[in-house]
Amino acid sequence: MQQLNLSEELYKIQDATKIQKYMTCERLYFLEFIMNLRREGENHNLVYGRAFHKGKDVLFTKGYSLESCQLAYQTFLEEYRKTYSPDTDADFRGKNPIGTEAAFLTYVNQYKDDNFIVLYTEIGIAVPIGNGRTLHGNMDSIMRGDRGVFSLETKTAGATWSYLQDQYMMKFQIDVYTHFLYSFYDLKEVYGVIVDVTVLKKEPGHIRVHCVKSLEHLEEWLYDANYWFDCIEKDLDRLSHESENDKFMHSFIRRTESCIQYNRMCPYFDICHAWHNPLQKVGTVPMGFKIEKWDPRNTGNKVELKTEGGINSEVRVDNSEKSKGLL
Protein backbone atom coordinates (compact mmCIF):
# COMPACT_ATOMS: atom_id res chain seq x y z
CA MET A 1 0.00 0.00 0.00
CA GLN A 2 1.18 3.53 -0.75
CA GLN A 3 2.24 5.39 2.40
CA LEU A 4 2.13 9.03 3.40
CA ASN A 5 5.55 10.58 3.81
CA LEU A 6 4.87 12.67 6.91
CA SER A 7 8.47 13.89 7.01
CA GLU A 8 7.82 15.90 3.84
CA GLU A 9 8.57 19.57 4.48
CA LEU A 10 5.37 20.74 2.79
CA TYR A 11 3.26 19.33 5.64
CA LYS A 12 4.97 21.77 8.01
CA ILE A 13 4.29 24.85 5.86
CA GLN A 14 1.26 26.80 7.01
CA ASP A 15 -0.59 29.82 5.73
CA ALA A 16 -3.91 31.52 6.48
CA THR A 17 -5.85 29.39 4.00
CA LYS A 18 -4.62 26.10 5.45
CA ILE A 19 -5.23 27.15 9.04
CA GLN A 20 -8.70 28.49 8.24
CA LYS A 21 -9.54 25.13 6.63
CA TYR A 22 -8.26 23.34 9.75
CA MET A 23 -10.37 25.62 11.96
CA THR A 24 -13.41 24.71 9.85
CA CYS A 25 -12.79 20.95 9.92
CA GLU A 26 -9.68 18.93 10.67
CA ARG A 27 -10.66 16.13 8.28
CA LEU A 28 -11.17 18.69 5.51
CA TYR A 29 -7.60 19.86 6.11
CA PHE A 30 -6.34 16.28 5.98
CA LEU A 31 -8.06 15.42 2.70
CA GLU A 32 -7.07 18.64 0.96
CA PHE A 33 -3.55 19.30 2.23
CA ILE A 34 -2.19 15.89 3.30
CA MET A 35 -3.89 13.55 0.85
CA ASN A 36 -3.76 16.44 -1.67
CA LEU A 37 -7.20 15.71 -3.14
CA ARG A 38 -8.62 18.51 -5.30
CA ARG A 39 -11.76 18.79 -7.39
CA GLU A 40 -11.15 18.27 -11.09
CA GLY A 41 -11.75 21.18 -13.40
CA GLU A 42 -11.52 24.87 -12.69
CA ASN A 43 -13.29 26.72 -9.92
CA HIS A 44 -14.94 29.70 -11.57
CA ASN A 45 -14.71 31.90 -8.48
CA LEU A 46 -10.96 31.28 -8.26
CA VAL A 47 -10.35 31.85 -11.97
CA TYR A 48 -12.47 34.98 -11.96
CA GLY A 49 -10.82 36.30 -8.80
CA ARG A 50 -7.34 35.78 -10.25
CA ALA A 51 -8.25 37.63 -13.45
CA PHE A 52 -10.01 40.43 -11.56
CA HIS A 53 -6.91 40.94 -9.39
CA LYS A 54 -4.76 41.38 -12.48
CA GLY A 55 -7.12 44.04 -13.76
CA LYS A 56 -7.18 45.90 -10.44
CA ASP A 57 -3.36 45.94 -10.42
CA VAL A 58 -3.50 47.98 -13.63
CA LEU A 59 -5.70 50.60 -11.97
CA PHE A 60 -3.32 50.86 -9.01
CA THR A 61 -0.17 51.17 -11.10
CA LYS A 62 -1.53 53.24 -14.01
CA GLY A 63 -3.91 55.52 -12.13
CA TYR A 64 -7.66 55.96 -12.45
CA SER A 65 -8.68 57.03 -15.93
CA LEU A 66 -10.82 55.83 -18.82
CA GLU A 67 -7.68 54.55 -20.55
CA SER A 68 -6.52 52.58 -17.51
CA CYS A 69 -10.03 51.09 -17.16
CA GLN A 70 -9.82 49.85 -20.73
CA LEU A 71 -6.34 48.43 -20.12
CA ALA A 72 -7.53 46.83 -16.86
CA TYR A 73 -10.41 45.19 -18.68
CA GLN A 74 -8.15 43.86 -21.44
CA THR A 75 -5.76 42.50 -18.81
CA PHE A 76 -8.65 40.81 -17.03
CA LEU A 77 -10.00 39.38 -20.29
CA GLU A 78 -6.64 37.98 -21.38
CA GLU A 79 -6.38 36.00 -18.13
CA TYR A 80 -10.05 35.00 -17.97
CA ARG A 81 -10.17 33.72 -21.55
CA LYS A 82 -7.40 31.24 -20.80
CA THR A 83 -10.10 29.18 -19.10
CA TYR A 84 -13.55 30.42 -20.14
CA SER A 85 -14.70 31.05 -23.72
CA PRO A 86 -17.29 33.69 -24.73
CA ASP A 87 -20.07 31.11 -25.03
CA THR A 88 -19.90 30.54 -21.24
CA ASP A 89 -20.35 34.19 -20.26
CA ALA A 90 -24.12 33.92 -19.81
CA ASP A 91 -23.61 31.02 -17.38
CA PHE A 92 -22.09 33.28 -14.72
CA ARG A 93 -24.33 36.09 -13.60
CA GLY A 94 -22.39 39.22 -12.67
CA LYS A 95 -18.99 37.54 -12.57
CA ASN A 96 -18.46 37.72 -16.31
CA PRO A 97 -16.66 40.09 -18.71
CA ILE A 98 -19.63 42.45 -19.14
CA GLY A 99 -20.03 42.85 -15.39
CA THR A 100 -16.31 43.32 -14.97
CA GLU A 101 -16.01 46.09 -17.53
CA ALA A 102 -18.78 47.97 -15.75
CA ALA A 103 -17.18 47.28 -12.36
CA PHE A 104 -13.86 48.87 -13.30
CA LEU A 105 -15.63 52.00 -14.56
CA THR A 106 -17.80 52.39 -11.46
CA TYR A 107 -14.79 51.69 -9.23
CA VAL A 108 -12.67 54.56 -10.52
CA ASN A 109 -15.70 56.84 -10.43
CA GLN A 110 -16.59 55.95 -6.84
CA TYR A 111 -13.00 56.23 -5.59
CA LYS A 112 -11.86 59.12 -7.76
CA ASP A 113 -10.52 60.91 -4.66
CA ASP A 114 -8.10 58.10 -3.74
CA ASN A 115 -4.69 59.52 -2.98
CA PHE A 116 -2.04 57.03 -1.97
CA ILE A 117 1.31 55.64 -3.04
CA VAL A 118 1.47 52.07 -4.32
CA LEU A 119 4.46 50.46 -2.58
CA TYR A 120 3.96 46.79 -3.52
CA THR A 121 1.49 44.53 -5.29
CA GLU A 122 1.18 40.73 -5.17
CA ILE A 123 3.58 40.17 -2.29
CA GLY A 124 4.55 36.68 -1.17
CA ILE A 125 5.05 37.03 2.57
CA ALA A 126 6.74 34.96 5.25
CA VAL A 127 6.33 36.32 8.75
CA PRO A 128 7.54 34.79 12.04
CA ILE A 129 5.03 34.20 14.85
CA GLY A 130 7.46 32.92 17.49
CA ASN A 131 8.47 29.43 18.61
CA GLY A 132 10.49 29.03 15.40
CA ARG A 133 7.30 29.15 13.32
CA THR A 134 6.56 31.08 10.14
CA LEU A 135 3.28 31.89 8.43
CA HIS A 136 3.29 32.26 4.66
CA GLY A 137 0.82 34.10 2.50
CA ASN A 138 0.13 36.40 -0.40
CA MET A 139 -0.97 40.02 0.06
CA ASP A 140 -2.61 41.95 -2.74
CA SER A 141 -0.94 45.28 -2.02
CA ILE A 142 0.75 47.61 0.42
CA MET A 143 -0.03 51.31 0.14
CA ARG A 144 0.98 54.50 1.91
CA GLY A 145 -1.70 57.14 2.38
CA ASP A 146 -2.82 59.87 4.75
CA ARG A 147 -3.71 57.31 7.43
CA GLY A 148 -0.35 55.55 7.15
CA VAL A 149 0.73 52.19 5.72
CA PHE A 150 -2.11 49.81 4.87
CA SER A 151 -2.99 46.83 2.73
CA LEU A 152 -5.83 47.07 0.23
CA GLU A 153 -7.14 43.53 -0.26
CA THR A 154 -9.34 42.85 -3.28
CA LYS A 155 -12.39 40.60 -2.85
CA THR A 156 -15.32 39.86 -5.15
CA ALA A 157 -18.82 38.74 -4.23
CA GLY A 158 -21.88 37.74 -6.21
CA ALA A 159 -24.37 39.32 -3.80
CA THR A 160 -24.66 41.36 -0.63
CA TRP A 161 -25.85 39.93 2.68
CA SER A 162 -26.20 41.18 6.22
CA TYR A 163 -22.80 39.98 7.41
CA LEU A 164 -20.80 40.73 4.25
CA GLN A 165 -18.74 43.38 6.03
CA ASP A 166 -18.67 41.86 9.52
CA GLN A 167 -17.14 38.57 8.32
CA TYR A 168 -13.77 40.22 7.72
CA MET A 169 -13.36 41.77 11.18
CA MET A 170 -12.38 38.46 12.83
CA LYS A 171 -10.91 36.71 9.80
CA PHE A 172 -7.64 34.90 10.51
CA GLN A 173 -6.27 35.93 7.11
CA ILE A 174 -6.78 39.65 7.84
CA ASP A 175 -4.86 39.33 11.11
CA VAL A 176 -1.97 37.61 9.32
CA TYR A 177 -1.66 40.62 7.01
CA THR A 178 -1.96 43.10 9.89
CA HIS A 179 0.69 41.22 11.87
CA PHE A 180 2.95 41.36 8.81
CA LEU A 181 2.56 45.13 8.53
CA TYR A 182 3.34 45.60 12.21
CA SER A 183 6.38 43.34 11.85
CA PHE A 184 7.99 45.32 9.05
CA TYR A 185 6.93 48.91 9.69
CA ASP A 186 7.07 51.22 12.66
CA LEU A 187 4.00 50.69 14.85
CA LYS A 188 2.96 54.32 14.50
CA GLU A 189 2.98 54.04 10.70
CA VAL A 190 0.55 51.13 10.37
CA TYR A 191 -3.14 51.77 9.76
CA GLY A 192 -4.33 48.22 9.04
CA VAL A 193 -6.09 46.30 6.30
CA ILE A 194 -8.85 47.66 4.08
CA VAL A 195 -10.89 44.94 2.38
CA ASP A 196 -11.86 46.25 -1.05
CA VAL A 197 -15.04 44.34 -1.99
CA THR A 198 -16.64 44.51 -5.43
CA VAL A 199 -20.17 43.10 -5.52
CA LEU A 200 -21.04 41.94 -9.03
CA LYS A 201 -24.78 42.02 -9.41
CA LYS A 202 -26.91 43.56 -12.18
CA GLU A 203 -25.31 46.86 -11.24
CA PRO A 204 -21.83 46.41 -9.69
CA GLY A 205 -21.15 48.05 -6.34
CA HIS A 206 -18.08 48.58 -4.17
CA ILE A 207 -17.59 48.46 -0.39
CA ARG A 208 -14.45 49.10 1.65
CA VAL A 209 -14.25 47.43 5.05
CA HIS A 210 -11.69 49.02 7.37
CA CYS A 211 -10.15 46.34 9.62
CA VAL A 212 -8.09 48.28 12.14
CA LYS A 213 -6.74 46.13 15.00
CA SER A 214 -5.39 47.08 18.39
CA LEU A 215 -2.12 45.62 19.66
CA GLU A 216 -4.14 43.72 22.29
CA HIS A 217 -6.16 42.07 19.54
CA LEU A 218 -3.01 41.08 17.68
CA GLU A 219 -1.44 39.65 20.84
CA GLU A 220 -4.52 37.48 21.29
CA TRP A 221 -4.40 36.47 17.63
CA LEU A 222 -0.72 35.55 17.97
CA TYR A 223 -1.62 33.21 20.82
CA ASP A 224 -4.42 31.72 18.70
CA ALA A 225 -2.08 31.24 15.72
CA ASN A 226 0.39 29.27 17.82
CA TYR A 227 -2.47 27.29 19.35
CA TRP A 228 -3.61 26.16 15.89
CA PHE A 229 -0.02 25.34 14.93
CA ASP A 230 0.14 23.17 18.08
CA CYS A 231 -3.09 21.40 17.12
CA ILE A 232 -1.88 20.62 13.61
CA GLU A 233 1.46 19.34 14.87
CA LYS A 234 -0.27 17.12 17.46
CA ASP A 235 -2.59 15.73 14.79
CA LEU A 236 0.38 14.98 12.55
CA ASP A 237 2.06 13.18 15.44
CA ARG A 238 -1.10 11.13 16.14
CA LEU A 239 -1.33 10.34 12.44
CA SER A 240 2.22 8.98 12.43
CA HIS A 241 1.17 6.33 14.95
CA GLU A 242 -1.93 5.22 13.05
CA SER A 243 -2.33 2.34 10.62
CA GLU A 244 -4.47 1.42 7.66
CA ASN A 245 -5.57 -1.56 9.75
CA ASP A 246 -7.46 0.68 12.19
CA LYS A 247 -11.24 0.71 11.79
CA PHE A 248 -11.29 4.48 11.67
CA MET A 249 -8.82 7.33 11.81
CA HIS A 250 -8.33 8.95 15.22
CA SER A 251 -6.43 12.03 14.08
CA PHE A 252 -7.89 14.94 12.12
CA ILE A 253 -11.40 14.40 13.45
CA ARG A 254 -14.53 15.31 11.51
CA ARG A 255 -16.44 18.43 12.47
CA THR A 256 -19.81 17.32 11.18
CA GLU A 257 -21.52 20.64 11.89
CA SER A 258 -19.35 22.10 9.14
CA CYS A 259 -20.46 19.67 6.41
CA ILE A 260 -23.00 22.15 5.12
CA GLN A 261 -22.37 25.88 5.35
CA TYR A 262 -24.10 28.79 3.64
CA ASN A 263 -26.43 26.28 1.93
CA ARG A 264 -23.43 24.59 0.31
CA MET A 265 -22.18 21.08 0.91
CA CYS A 266 -18.50 20.45 1.58
CA PRO A 267 -16.86 19.11 -1.62
CA TYR A 268 -15.43 16.23 0.43
CA PHE A 269 -18.78 15.22 1.95
CA ASP A 270 -19.15 11.89 0.10
CA ILE A 271 -15.50 10.94 0.66
CA CYS A 272 -15.67 11.77 4.35
CA HIS A 273 -18.92 9.85 4.75
CA ALA A 274 -17.58 6.74 3.00
CA TRP A 275 -13.94 6.62 4.19
CA HIS A 276 -13.87 5.89 7.90
CA ASN A 277 -10.12 5.40 7.72
CA PRO A 278 -8.69 7.40 4.79
CA LEU A 279 -5.29 5.75 5.40
CA GLN A 280 -6.74 2.70 3.65
CA LYS A 281 -7.26 4.84 0.56
CA VAL A 282 -3.92 6.62 0.20
CA GLY A 283 -3.22 6.96 -3.52
CA THR A 284 -6.87 6.40 -4.42
CA VAL A 285 -8.38 9.15 -6.53
CA PRO A 286 -12.20 9.32 -6.28
CA MET A 287 -14.20 10.15 -9.38
CA GLY A 288 -14.27 13.90 -9.96
CA PHE A 289 -11.03 14.50 -8.04
CA LYS A 290 -7.32 14.71 -8.79
CA ILE A 291 -4.14 14.66 -6.72
CA GLU A 292 -2.44 18.03 -6.69
CA LYS A 293 -0.01 19.43 -4.17
CA TRP A 294 -0.19 23.09 -3.29
CA ASP A 295 2.69 25.05 -1.79
CA PRO A 296 1.73 28.43 -0.23
CA ARG A 297 5.33 29.59 -0.69
CA ASN A 298 4.94 29.61 -4.47
CA THR A 299 2.78 32.74 -4.70
CA GLY A 300 3.51 36.42 -5.24
CA ASN A 301 6.81 38.24 -5.39
CA LYS A 302 9.02 36.97 -2.58
CA VAL A 303 10.02 39.99 -0.57
CA GLU A 304 11.54 40.82 2.77
CA LEU A 305 9.97 44.18 3.47
CA LYS A 306 12.62 45.98 5.48
CA THR A 307 12.69 49.01 3.22
CA GLU A 308 10.18 50.41 0.80
CA GLY A 309 10.61 50.03 -2.93
CA GLY A 310 12.05 47.16 -4.94
CA ILE A 311 9.03 45.58 -6.61
CA ASN A 312 7.13 48.41 -8.21
CA SER A 313 8.21 51.98 -8.62
CA GLU A 314 6.16 54.17 -6.30
CA VAL A 315 3.15 55.32 -8.30
CA ARG A 316 0.99 58.02 -6.74
CA VAL A 317 -2.68 57.46 -7.43
CA ASP A 318 -4.14 60.95 -7.48
CA ASN A 319 -7.23 60.88 -9.64
CA SER A 320 -8.93 64.20 -9.02
CA GLU A 321 -8.30 65.20 -12.64
CA LYS A 322 -7.93 61.89 -14.51
CA SER A 323 -11.40 60.52 -13.77
CA LYS A 324 -13.49 63.59 -14.48
CA GLY A 325 -14.48 62.10 -17.81
CA LEU A 326 -16.11 59.15 -16.06
CA LEU A 327 -18.53 61.24 -13.99
For 50, the domain range is 41-113
On whether residue 2 sits in a domain, the answer given is no
Rounded to 5 degrees, what are φ and ψ at 129? -125, 15
Number of domains in the chain: 1
- The Cα 304–Cα 183 span in angstroms is 11
On whether residue 73 sits in a domain, the answer given is yes
Least confident of 8-12, 66-70, 235-239, 302-306: 302-306
Which 3-state string (H, E, C) describes 156-207? Answer: EECCCCCCCCHHHCCCHHHHHHHHHHHHHCCHHHEEEEEEEEEECCCCCEEE
pTM of the model: 0.88
**pLDDT value, residue 321:** 40
**pLDDT value, residue 317:** 55
On whether residue 84 sits in a domain, the answer given is yes
On whether residue 28 sits in a domain, the answer given is no
User: 299 falls in which pLDDT band (50, 70, 90)?
Assistant: low
On whether residue 324 sits in a domain, the answer given is no
- The Cα 235–Cα 218 span in angstroms is 26
On whether residue 276 sits in a domain, the answer given is no
- The Cα 114–Cα 63 span in angstroms is 10
pLDDT of 312 over the 80 cut: no
Q: 195 or 321: whose pLDDT is higher?
A: 195
- The Cα 186–Cα 156 span in angstroms is 31
On whether residue 162 sits in a domain, the answer given is no
pLDDT of 327 over the 80 cut: no
pLDDT of 117 over the 60 cut: yes
How many other C-beta atoms can be found within 10 angstroms of the C-beta atom of residue 299?
17
- Per cent of the chain over pLDDT 90 is 72
Beta bridge partners of 211: 193
User: 316 falls in which pLDDT band (50, 70, 90)?
Assistant: low
On whether residue 251 sits in a domain, the answer given is no
pLDDT of 58 over the 60 cut: yes
Measure Cα distances from 27 to 8, 228, 249, 275 in Å: 19, 14, 10, 11
Region 293-310 average pLDDT: 58
Q: 163 or 152: whose pLDDT is higher?
A: 152
- The Cα 298–Cα 303 span in angstroms is 12
When computed from its CA atoms, the radius of gyration of the chain, rounded to whole angstroms, is 21
Nearest residue to 44 via CA among 122, 101, 97, 102: 97
